Structure 1
Amino acid sequence: MPAYTVTTVAPMPNLENLKKQAKQYLRWHRERYYPVAAEIRAALPRFQHLDDNQVLEANFKLSDAQELIARQLGFEGWQALKTGAPAMTDQKKQTVPAPVLSSTSAQLFVTDIKASIEFFTTKLGFGVDFVYGDPAFYGQVTRDNAQSR
């Protein structure tokens, strides 16, 4: 009996879905959805020198969103993605760097300081500066150049 080799190739995402995804990125940018700023900065060279606010204030068109999608999939641009041209920049999806906070202002009144500290440290990446009181009722956390008391 002859041996057979089966090769599977990941299917190319549906172009209509990619167009919808590009429009979603455009909406997120217009709505100033901060997580999208890091993705834009990571994928599009003209935004790499800007901080989150500057990215969200910059002119961002549908063609930019399409280029973002294409580059995330490893293509040089939208046209290369559409034609499936072998103009790949990278075979795997680019990783998005974590956003860097430069400032924050938050005053939180919580009933469970332990749960609040756990949320800030595990979900948001803050570190604990101090916790005050017995039982604890006040504390401060910091991340990057930002502080919250």
Structure 2
Amino acid sequence: MSITTTTHLNFRGTAREALDFYRSVFGGRTVVVTYKDAGNVPNENEADWVMWGEVAGDNGFHVMAYDVPSPLPWSQGDDPFFVSVRGDDADEISALWQKLAEGSTVARPLEPAPWAPLYGMLTDRFGVTWVLDVAAPYNG
């Protein structure tokens, strides 16, 4: 069992551009899943926005990003990132979730999602937003 933490950056329509830029700086590979790719289009004008994206390099660099859909609140200065905790063991992630959830505001319960066996989002009592998920193989 192992887990990793990754900075998860939030944008409004510029996540792909940011990921491409970070790849040009740090190297590695870029993976992007759009809202259209996932069959989850909240707004037709945002279908090609990034629902899930990352740059990962052999040098250890790893950053994730997505475009916050327009129905959700977003302010670049107020909510620019999440802490993403990803693991390969559902029991381990569930146990971490239970501890983090104490005194938190759950934005999305930890449950199966179209892109992960388990996925959840909460803001802890300190105002930090956490995304926990169980990694799924990428079949893009």
Per the normalisation by structure 2, the TM-score is 0.23
Q: Name the one with the larger helix percent.
A: 1
User: Greater relative contact order: 1 or 2 (C-alpha under 8 angstroms, separation 6 or more)?
Assistant: 2
Q: Highest Rg: 1 or 2?
A: 1
